[in-house]
Amino acid sequence: MVTDLCLNLYYLHRGYNVFELRVLCYQLFNYAAFAVLIWLGSRFKRKASFLALLSGGFLGAILFYLITNTASWFFNPFNNPEYTKNLEGLIRALTTGTSGWPQTWEFFRNTLMSGGLFTALFAAAFEVTTSESAEEKEAKEAPPEEADPEGEPAAEET
């Protein structure tokens, strides 16, 4: 939010009216998309499988793409003439975007790749740092030795 405020002040200085209601509503939808991602991440169990985490990363990227690009089409904060208020305008917002900029499907591709890579690296690092060695697992699974009342281990019966 702080960086958005700084960027808004920068663009305001450059002559863009960034504090219009529709621009602020668009930003609110971006924050809503982040909230959805945080909520989605909180649904995973601590011991979720690598595949489940990777799938969650991809699902998060898809949801973020759909929410933010649909909001961009709906609010049209930069008055893009390509974003007509019909199905064709929505499809354009979800695929090619506006002229003079990279196509939105390219952003989607990059988001999927970076989200997948980040999730894979994060899950792998978590696994490496929290995994127990075979000896530690064995020690946990072994039954505790019984002690006699004086604190000495019980003698084995013969």
pLDDT digits (tens, 9 = 90+) for 98-109: 888 889 999 899
Cα 60 to Cα 73: distance, rounded to the nearest angstrom: 20
Nearest to 121 by CA among 54, 58, 43: 54
- In angstroms, the Cα distances linking 150 to 50, 52, 112, 154 are 48, 51, 63, 10
What residue ranges do the domains of the chain occupy? 31-130
Strand, helix or coil for residue 7: helix
pLDDT at 146: 60
pLDDT at 21: 85
Nearest to 73 by CA among 90, 57, 60, 58: 90
Cα 42 to Cα 148: distance, rounded to the nearest angstrom: 47
pLDDT at 37: 85
Cα 61 to Cα 40: distance, rounded to the nearest angstrom: 11
- Tokens matching residue 124: 């792998």
Cα 13 to Cα 155: distance, rounded to the nearest angstrom: 84
Residues of the chain with pLDDT under 50: none
Report CA Rg, the chain. 26
pLDDT at 154: 59
pLDDT at 87: 95
pTM (2 d.p.): 0.66
Residue 52: which residues within 8 A CB-CB, separation 6 or more? 44
Which residue has 């064709």 as its token pair?
A: 88
